Amino acid sequence: MRARHPIPTPIPTRWLMTDERLGEGLWRALERLPRGGGVVFRHYRTPVRERRALFRQVVRVARRRHLTVVGAGPRGLSGADGTHQSVAFGVVTWSVHNRREAVRARRAGADVLFVSPIFATRSHPGARAKGPLRARLAAGRGAGVLIALGGMDETRFRRVRPLGFAGYAAIDAWSR
């Protein structure tokens, strides 16, 4: 087992995936996310200096609301509770789209697997949705908390939960 900072207990079951498309809606989405939820801070296209400043603001809101914050992309996001798509510290989250990626994520030591796309989503127009059963089969078996991603909301989560998904991640569900 790799040495790293402790992961949050329990691992959040509701997640916000951030990106530039949220714009000022980011703040509303952070407020709508349930206390104890998680945030995967992406903003890949934002220039580094702006990205770091925005991240610090997100962390301030997250601390007030008891949210777990995971930083994605280039390093240098101090204050994060973990990493996305890399193993560095804290909670490690990974996006998976097929069984091969799920195996790779587990071998890397991912704590949380975001399985997508379950349903059609505005964030990936034209991407073929797997549907709940195919998505669950793509995740395979093994360690890691499974989080449904892609067109998710509370109603759709109730539909996929019996398949072994512990929670869901979304953009639109929190920003509408």
Q: Is residue 118 part of a domain?
A: yes
Number of residues in the chain:
176
* Rounded Cα distance, 83 and 105, in Å: 13
pLDDT in tens, 82-110: 989 888 788 999 999 999 999 999 999 99
Concatenated DSSP letters of 17-52 = E--GGGTTHHHHHHHHSPTT-EEEE--TTS-HHHHH
Specify the pTM. 0.91
Determine the pLDDT at residue 134. Answer: 92
Q: Is residue 19 part of a domain?
A: yes
Domain, as residue range, for 145: 14-175
Q: What is the number of domains present in the chain? A: 1
Q: Is residue 61 part of a domain?
A: yes
* Rounded Cα distance, 152 and 168, in Å: 7
CATH number at residue 143: 3.20.20.70
Q: Is residue 163 part of a domain?
A: yes
pLDDT in tens, 105-141: 999 999 999 999 999 988 777 778 999 999 999 999 8
Q: Is residue 1 part of a domain?
A: no
Closest to 15 in 3D by CA, of 84, 100, 104, 90: 84
**96 vs 13, 61, 107, 144, CA distance in Å?**
17, 28, 13, 12
pLDDT in tens, 15-74: 999 999 999 999 999 999 999 999 999 999 999 999 999 999 999 999 999 999 999 976
